[in-house]
DNA sequence: TTGTACGCGTTATCAT
DNA sequence: ATGATAACGCGTACAA
């Protein structure tokens, strides 16, 4: 039943509702006429219902519904001098952490009638600039952007248009930017501390690319500092940096374990996905987790708790980050003073992939 | 260094660029004045450069850049009677398949200067209605929506505004809706056929919820039909329906394998995630994959190929779906006739989780 | 409480 | 090739 069905084009000027019988979409004036009121009253019935006599208001809303009329956003934006659009720029769609953040932001903005534009930069600063420029051209009233390592002039571009913005997911007390996030360095101190307490002395690190990603650099710094406190360090061969996926986790573990002794007894991964890669590769190397090797992740993605053994990791409440970021921006939009730095505390979750260091 | 820094509010009317020295954002008139031309020429310099003398055009663009002026989208939308906004409604952000589709759509629309609005319905038809209504109120010129099982009146709502739309991810030759997708039934026929060819006789199914999801129902139908061709069927206890996550995959496999004999030797899962759940639970049940039990997934998420053993599954080119959906909508917007049904063929990928049925 | 009338910023039409 | 001007659809002082 694959008839060569062809869809008639709609044509670019064919938007809008049923109007007054003509093909033309309904306007406020049509509603006004049909309800026997002025366009001002129609507008008020929608934007300030309390200023309209109940009977009139009901009639207007009824007529509007019948005509399928909704205020045209362009006209409204022009008259109100507000677009009611905000934007968020994230590295990647389809990644749990960012998805949760975006969903929460979307919900928070929607409550105030603000539409959220989503832009993906794919970890490319130039693309982030393009996406952001497009959003500014769209008239976004506020912007959230993941991370503060952006191309030169990125924030200047936003500030030139006086658009309030907030950096999410990263947090640095001395950052010049308003931000909602957590201290990546502290978080990885906690992880490293946990492994030190378990008696580990030789560590490996598998991290996502640090270029254009301040968060990863901070994580590594956290590990290094905590090790240095005990007079330990990360050997060059025990630090791998590459794509944040399972495959790189696998190949990194293999490289380290096939390298010269001493070999790490604990692997700190910058991401759960990298850790899962290590967990998947371990059996092939004859390594039992956690008896022979401890592994940690970060993010607490859904897979982490379900894996076998379940992954020791750190959970960040990304929805909360999204809510707080949206709240911050809404406050600024409404002229309310707001703290410039908001910190979230990630929670460490000890599960099955970390244990005491093996006896040598 | 956690000074109690406070951000001064921007105020809601503080949008836009540097303007002419006052706080006011620049308008076309400012650019016109500064460049010694009329606003009409400014507009043409941006929208129809070829109609403006090169020298004038360059001067206008230069002045515009200096003033940080960009055409205000609301004004442009009003005058052009085009919002240059499209929308897509998906069940869930943060799921690879939809993320790829959305990214591809976004790219395709961006090439034509169209911004894509993204709405998440969270598998809730009522929420899909809300999201779609909001998008229509926003003046979207075109809509893509995942799946055709929507609330009553959903498509009527879209058609009432004469907005061209397309259903993605699902495909049914006799569907009343324009669609871009694949035949879920055929796909699961292929999977079932593969397992039959391996000699399996007793099958289990683990599926995501079928309510409000035509795609899942079609998948089950494909399995049932193919089994029926061989005089086989799916025992009630061997069909599980629930949340599309790893945990449900795990508990479903356990329930089936702890149930009464005969027990399935092949498990068909509606999603890779469900399959991964089954794979993770199998060892705990003393089952070796694929010697004792074959398992199949669907989607070919990144994890599938990396798992141990790698998951036999079916890959759908979601980016292609997105591209085609956007192409279809763009064509209708531009008044070009378009096929109403576009089919994608998923590809079966035999990997390590399927093998000959165990000898009884 | 309701209506009048103007302005929001841009683009399209028509004239030059 | 360029300019003047009238829409585009709505919100909001201001007047009634």
Q: pLDDT digit of tens for each residue in chain B (360 aa)?
A: 334 455 544 433 333 333 334 467 899 999 999 999 999 999 999 999 999 999 999 999 999 999 999 999 999 999 999 999 999 999 988 899 999 999 999 999 999 999 999 999 999 999 999 999 999 999 999 999 999 989 999 999 999 888 999 999 988 888 999 999 999 999 999 999 999 999 999 999 999 998 878 889 999 999 999 999 999 999 999 999 999 999 999 999 999 999 998 999 999 999 999 999 999 999 999 999 999 999 999 999 999 999 999 999 999 999 999 999 999 999 999 888 899 999 999 999 999 999 999 986
**Chain A closest CA to B283's CA: distance in Å?**
10
Residues A122, A239 within the same domain:
no
Residues of B in contact with A110 (CB under 8 A): 134
Backbone φ, ψ for residue B82 (5° rounding): -145, 130
Q: Do A95 and B94 touch (CB under 8 A)?
A: yes
Nucleotides in chain C with any atom closer than 7 Å to protein CB: 1-5, 7-13
Distances (CA, A) of B208 to A281, A301, B125, B246, B262: 30, 20, 16, 11, 24
Question: pLDDT tens digit string along A315-327?
Answer: 999 999 999 999 9
Give the pLDDT of residue A19. Answer: 36
What pLDDT digit, counting tens, does each position of A67-96 carry?
A: 999 999 999 999 999 999 999 999 988 899
Q: What is the DSSP letter of A51?
A: G
Q: B90 and B118 in contact (C-beta within 8 Å)?
A: yes
CB contact under 8 A, A73 and B137: yes
Whether residues B6 and A333 touch (CB distance < 8 A) is answered with no
Q: Are residues A189 and A308 in the same domain?
A: yes
Which pLDDT score, from 0 to 100, does residue B180 have?
96
How many Å lie between the alpha carbon of A140 and the closest alpha carbon of chain B?
A: 8
Q: What is the pLDDT of residue B316?
A: 95
In A, which residues are within 8 Å of B306 by CB distance?
246-247, 250, 276-277, 280
Segment A235-287, tens digit of pLDDT: 999 999 999 999 999 999 999 999 998 999 999 999 999 999 999 999 999 99
Rounded to whole angstroms, the distance from the CA of residue A71 to the C1' of nucleotide C3 is 19
In which residue are the tokens 């599980």 written? B240
What would the pLDDT profile of A166-209 be if each residue is shown by its tens digit? 999 988 888 999 999 999 999 999 999 999 999 999 999 999 99
- Out of A18, A74, A245, the one facing B74 most closely (by C-beta) is A74
- Do residue A203 and residue A125 come from a single domain? no
Distance A79 CA to C7 C1' (A): 8
Q: Quick check: A347 pLDDT over 80?
A: yes
A66 contact residues in B (CB cutoff 8 A): none
CB-based burial, B260-278: b 16+ in 10 Å, e otherwise? eeebbbbbbbbbbbbbbbb
Q: Does residue B357 sit within a domain? A: no
CATH number of the CATH domain containing A51: 1.10.260.40
> Which residue in chain B is spatially nearest to A17 when comparing CA positions?
B161
Instruction: Report yes or no on B200 lying in a domain.
Output: yes
In a domain, B279, yes or no: yes
Nearest nt to B71, CA vs C1'? C10
CB of B343 within 8 A of CB of B181? yes
**What is the pLDDT confidence band of residue A20, given thresholds at 50, 70 and 90?**
very low
Nucleotide lying nearest to B78, CA to C1' measure:
D8
Q: What is the pLDDT of residues A33-69, one digit of tens each?
A: 999 999 999 999 999 999 999 999 999 999 999 999 9
pLDDT, residue A173, reads 85
Q: Are residues B230 and B292 in the same domain?
A: yes
| Chain A positions in Cβ-Cβ contact with residue B98 (cut-off 8 Å) | 94
Q: How far is A116 from chain B (nearest CA, A)?
A: 8
Contact A341 B277 (CB under 8 A): no
Asked if residue B294 lies in contact with residue B355, where contact means CB atoms within 8 angstroms, the answer is yes
- Select from B78, B141, B178 the Cβ nearest to the Cβ of A75: B78
Q: What span, in angstroms and rounded, lies between the C-alpha atoms of B267 and B256? A: 10
Cβ contact A39 with chain C strand, < 7 A:
yes
Residues of chain A contacting residue B247, judged by C-beta atoms under 8 Å apart: 306
Distance (Å, whole) CA A163 – CA B126: 34
> What pLDDT score was predicted for residue A9?
46
Is there a domain that residue A358 lies in? no
Res A134 pLDDT > 70: yes
Q: Which residue of B has its CA nearest to A87?
A: B117
CA A136 to CA B243: how far, in whole Å?
39
Q: What is the pLDDT of residue A23?
A: 60
Nearest nucleotide by C1' position to the B48 CA atom: C11
B336 touches strand C (CB under 7 A): no
The reply to whether residue A70 touches residue B136, judged by beta carbons under 8 angstroms, is yes
Q: Which residue is nearest to nucleotide D7 (CA to C1')?
A: B79
Measure, in angstroms, how far nucleotide D2 C1' is from residue A137 CA.
27
Interface probe for A, chosen from B5, B7, B124 (most Cβ of A below 10 Å), is: B7
Q: Which nucleotides of D are covered by protein (CB under 7 A)?
A: 1-5, 7-13
pTM, whole model, 2 decimals?
Answer: 0.90
Q: Indicate whether A12 pLDDT > 50.
A: no
- List residues with CB under 7 Å of strand D: A 24-25, 27-29, 39-40, 42-44, 46-48, 69-72, 74-76, 78-80; B 36-41, 44, 51-53, 55-57, 75, 78-79, 81
User: For the purposes of burial, counting CB atoms within 10 Å of the CB of B23, is it exposed (0-12), middle (13-18) or buried (19 or more)?
Assistant: exposed
Identify whether B124 is part of a domain.
yes
* B87 and B144 belong to one structural domain: yes
Substitution target in A5, A25, A71, A73 with the highest count of B β-carbons within 10 Å is: A73
Q: Are residues B166 and B224 in the same domain?
A: no
Buried b (16+ CB within 10 A) or exposed e, B292-321: bbbbbbbbbbebbbbbeeebbbbbbbbbeb
Give the CATH number for residue B309: 3.40.50.2300
**Same structural domain, A174 and A191:** no
Q: Does residue B165 form part of some domain?
A: yes
Q: Does B189 share its domain with B245?
A: yes
Q: Do B340 and A98 touch (CB under 8 A)?
A: no
Residue A32 pLDDT = 94
Tally of domains in chain B = 3
Domain range enclosing A336: 83-182+318-345
Mark whether B171 and B232 lie in a shared domain. Answer: no
Q: Residue A70: what are its φ and ψ, rounded to 5°?
A: -135, 145
Residues of A in contact with B5 (CB under 8 A): 339-341
Q: Tell me, what's the pLDDT at A130?
A: 94
Q: Is residue B195 part of a domain?
A: yes
Q: In what order do the strands lie in the sheet with A115-120?
A: A115-120, A85-90, A142-146, A165-170, A179-182, A341-343
Task: Please indicate, yes or no, whether residues B276 and B155 belong to a single structural domain of this protein.
Answer: no
Considering the domain architecture, whether residues A273 and A326 belong to the same structural domain is answered as no
Q: Are A207 and A241 within one domain?
A: yes
Contact criterion met (CB < 8 Å) for B68 and A137: no
Is B174 a member of any domain? yes
């Amino acid at each position: 039943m694959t008839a060569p069905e062809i869809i008639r084009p709609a044509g670019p000027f064919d938007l809008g509702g049923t109007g007054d019988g003509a093909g033309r979409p309904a306007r406020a004036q049509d509603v006004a006429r049909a309800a026997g009121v002025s366009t001002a009253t129609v507008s008020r019935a929608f934007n300030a219902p309390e200023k309209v006599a109940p009977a009139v208001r009901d009639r207007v809303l009824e007529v509007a519904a019948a005509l399928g009329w909704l205020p045209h956003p362009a006209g409204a934006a022009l008259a109100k001098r507000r677009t009611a659009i905000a934007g968020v720029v994230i590295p990647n769609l389809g990644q749990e952490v960012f998805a949760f953040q975006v969903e929460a932001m979307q919900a928070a903005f929607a409550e105030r009638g603000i539409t959220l534009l989503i832009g993906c930069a794919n970890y490319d600063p130039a693309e982030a600039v393009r996406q952001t420029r497009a959003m500014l051209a769209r008239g976004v009233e506020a912007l959230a952007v993941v991370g503060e390592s952006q191309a030169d002039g990125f924030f200047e571009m936003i500030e030139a248009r006086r658009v309030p913005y907030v950096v999410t997911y990263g947090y640095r007390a001395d950052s010049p930017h308003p931000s909602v996030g957590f201290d990546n360095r502290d978080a990885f101190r906690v992880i490293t501390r946990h492994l030190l307490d378990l008696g580990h002395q030789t560590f490996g690190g598998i991290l996502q690319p640090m270029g254009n990603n301040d968060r990863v650099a901070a994580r590594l710094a956290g590990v290094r500092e905590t090790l240095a406190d005990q007079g330990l360090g990360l050997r060059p061969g025990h630090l791998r940096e590459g794509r944040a996926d399972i495959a790189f986790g696998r190949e990194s573990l293999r490289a380290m374990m096939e390298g010269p002794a001493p070999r790490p007894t604990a692997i700190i991964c910058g991401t759960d996905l990298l850790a899962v890669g290590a967990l998947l590769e371990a059996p092939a190397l004859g390594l039992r987790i956690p008896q022979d090797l401890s592994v940690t992740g970060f993010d607490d993605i859904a897979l982490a708790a379900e894996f076998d053994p379940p992954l020791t990791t750190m959970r960040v409440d990304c929805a909360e980050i999204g809510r707080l970021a949206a709240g911050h921006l809404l406050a600024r939009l409404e002229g309310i003073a707001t703290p410039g730095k908001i910190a979230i505390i990630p929670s460490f979750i000890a599960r099955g992939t970390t244990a005491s260091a093996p006896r040598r």
